[in-house]
Amino acid sequence: MPEGRIKLMQGNEACVEAAIIAGMEFFAGYPITPSTEIAELSAAKLPRIGGKFIQMEDEIGSISAVIGASLAGKKSMTATSGPGFSLKQEGIGYAIMAEVPCVIVNVQRGGPSTGMPTSPAQGDIMQARWGTHGDHSIIALYPSTVREIFDTTIRAFNLAEKYRTPVILLMDEVIGHMREKILVPNKNDIKIYNRKKPTSGPKDYRPYQVKEGDIVPQMASFGEGYRFHVTGLVHNEMGFPSNDNKVAQNLINRLINKIENNIEDIVEYEEYRLEDAEEIIVAYGVTARSAKSAIDILRDEGLKIGLFRPITIWPVAQRQLEEIAKKVNSILVVEMNMGQYALEIDRIAGKYTRVGKYGRVDGELVTPEEIVSFVREGKDCQAN
């Protein structure tokens, strides 16, 4: 890909280009609208750089193959949409438990079930957070432009490697399929993070021990002489199954805390016209673009309103949102669902300020005009 040049690029295409720059060498997928272009482009590009692509027999097979390839040392990704994302939860849980870095792209569509395959929706916010069973934390990122898909995809790989965890990249159907111009950055300007390899020899290697100064256990790849065991069962530092209560509690604590204790590093967000704002809109992805236009219109009318746009959806920017909530009259969460992120914002901000919600799930984008009229009418809550 030509560096340092302006290119017209589709969102799904930007995702693949960025993944390759981030070091992706393996992709396993299954055809599903509206993410299929990610698989198609990976199939075309990966063998040209010595990487591997495989179309698996189903969605669970593809996340499983991705985890296997990552254990063998390759940065790996899969892409899907709602129904496939439901199926991938099994593998996501395994990757959390066994601490296997990988990236799962979910180009969302209307649901539940088969829903509206070609229409945009933002209905998988809570599934990204709690889709797999058991207590866990998760990293989920949500870009809002094609350029941001590019940057966020690289960041998804970096965070996956740094924290040894699956990272979910939530995308909007509209941005996945939209073409926007992006300035392709020079490779030298891009920071790439690779998993930390063992500093000890195979004899002293404890595959799930966190060494002093590290965030996560050092990770050997299969075939490098470190013969270790990986399981989805609760396991001790050697990776062997354990029913010990202390081992179980410590493991789950560690898996959650490696993310929750590093929120400031993981969280990324944009503040728009927030300086003197008395009213705040929280929106993400494509909906944030409508919210920005709405804010410009309302500002022209004299309303002191601004936008808080999370780019990291999970973990949530709790500290920043609390600080904002303490200063403003109200927060309105606008999203293409019936109020999923509004639940989380209300949990954080509800004790400091009024939290309202506006959403729609009819397969159409939220327009700037409807946000403007909703704010003008001063309502708290609506879901069409």
Partner 1 sequence: MPSQLIEKYFRTNSLPHIWCPGCGNGIVLRAIVKAIDNIGIDQNNVCVVSGIGCSSRASGYLDFNTVHTTHGRALAFATGIKLANPNLHVIVITGDGDCAAIGGNHLIHAARRNIDITTIVFNNNIYGMTGGQYSPTTPTGDKGTTAPYGNIDANFDLCELAKAAGATYVSRSTVYGANMIIKQVEAGIKNRGFSFIETLTTCPTYYGRKNKKGDPVDLIRHLKEISVNKTEYEKLPEEKRMGKIVIGELYRGERPEYTDEYIKIIESFKGEI
Quote the least distance from Cβ 57 to partner 1, whole Å: 4
Quote the least distance from Cβ 38 to partner 1, whole Å: 17
Contact (CB, 8 A) for 141 and 170: yes
Which whole-number Å values give the CA distances from 38 to 54, 72, 141, 296, 370, in the listed order?
12, 22, 17, 34, 32
Secondary element (H or E) of residue 251: helix 245-260
> Distance (Å, rounded) from C-alpha 22 to C-alpha 16?
10
Quote the least distance from Cβ 201 to partner 1, whole Å: 13
Q: Which residues pair with 312 in a beta bridge?
A: 141
Between residues 5 and 229, which has the closer beta carbon with respect to partner 1? 229
Quote the least distance from Cβ 126 to partner 1, whole Å: 22
> Distance (Å, rounded) from C-alpha 215 to C-alpha 162?
8
Quote the least distance from Cβ 370 to partner 1, whole Å: 43
Between residues 51 and 339, which has the closer beta carbon with respect to partner 1? 51
> Distance (Å, rounded) from C-alpha 113 to C-alpha 358?
23
Contact (CB, 8 A) for 303 and 375: yes
SS3 43: helix
Between residues 45 and 109, which has the closer beta carbon with respect to partner 1? 45
Between residues 233 and 383, which has the closer beta carbon with respect to partner 1? 233
Question: Judging by DSSP bridges, how do beta strands 139-141 and 312-314 pair with one another?
Answer: antiparallel
Quote the least distance from Cβ 181 to partner 1, whole Å: 27
Contact (CB, 8 A) for 210 and 236: no
Between residues 73 and 185, which has the closer beta carbon with respect to partner 1? 73
Beta-carbon-side half-sphere exposure of residue 303 (alpha carbons within 13 Å): 21
Between residues 19 and 365, which has the closer beta carbon with respect to partner 1? 19
* Residues lying near partner 1 in the complex (CB under 8 A): 25-26, 28, 47-50, 52, 54, 56-58, 60-62, 64-74, 76, 90-91, 94, 221-225, 227-233, 238, 240-241
Between residues 58 and 380, which has the closer beta carbon with respect to partner 1? 58
Contact (CB, 8 A) for 141 and 156: yes
Query: What is the spatial order of strands in the sheet that 102-108 belongs to?
Result: 52-55, 24-29, 75-80, 102-108, 166-172, 139-141, 312-314
Quote the least distance from Cβ 76 to partner 1, whole Å: 7
Quote the least distance from Cβ 215 to partner 1, whole Å: 23
Between residues 42 and 145, which has the closer beta carbon with respect to partner 1? 42
